[in-house]
Amino acid sequence: MAISVIDTHAHYNSCVMDVNKEFFKLRINDNVSKVINVGLDVKTSLEALKLSLKYSDMYATLGIHPLYSGCIKDLELLYYKYNHDKVVAIGETGIDTSGNVNEQIDKFLDSIKLANKFKLPLIIHSNTINNSCDSAHKICLEIIKRYPLKYGFIFHCFQPDLDVLDSIIDLGGYISVGSKITGKYAKKSLQIVSEVPIDRLLIETDYPFLTHNPKETGYNTFNKICEIKKKDKVYMMNKLNGNAYRLFPKLYN
């Protein structure tokens, strides 16, 4: 049985690449069955939406990254203006302590409201820079506790922190990991993969920001997950893909 997994987080947009050329390369890669193309702002969200309608194996999200500018209301207008059958989530959104956290909190709250309104899960970017007085994970979790996400959420490319992992799982969240778990100094990330319940784990490439070769790094990431979880590849493929369909049910479209 061929191994073919869902890449739950990538960025195919004109800000970083020739989209059609790069996605054509991906489509001949048998190791990837579907790709969730994640919006960073209004422009890239629109591109993701349009590409999802062009390619059968690509899906879209609508989001304003915490370090990008944009209005959540404009995402709502996009959703209503275009065919949104393959918009599977809102995000990415969240907290990044390298920027203005107070401004990010407002966008995060608006994104939560939009996700609940559209009955979609939320993709969360949570990043704490070195020497920061704030913890992005803790800020995100406190907000989620006060304003629950009714249709699920995921911490994408999870910055390893065992102290908050149980809280994320208890709140019904998911964790996705990428090529960082294959790195030379990935001890904490490997421990996260070991601790996360299999039914809350997802795989991503975060292409092109974390890798310029999604085929190779995606394959290596998948193999590392199988190694850590001590499961065979077919079993792990079915579990990871099943998790993706459960969190993002519109992947069935």
pLDDT more than 90, % of the chain: 79
pLDDT in tens, 65-115: 999 999 999 999 999 999 999 999 999 999 999 999 999 999 999 999 999
Give the model confidence (pLDDT) of 163-181 as tens digits.
999 999 999 999 999 999 9
- Specify the pLDDT at position 32: 78
Among 191, 183, 136, smallest CA distance to 160 is for 191
Q: Confirm if 37 and 52 have CB atoms less than 8 A apart.
A: yes
Domains of the chain and any CATH numbers: 5-205+247-252 (3.20.20.140)
The average pLDDT across 141-158 equals 98
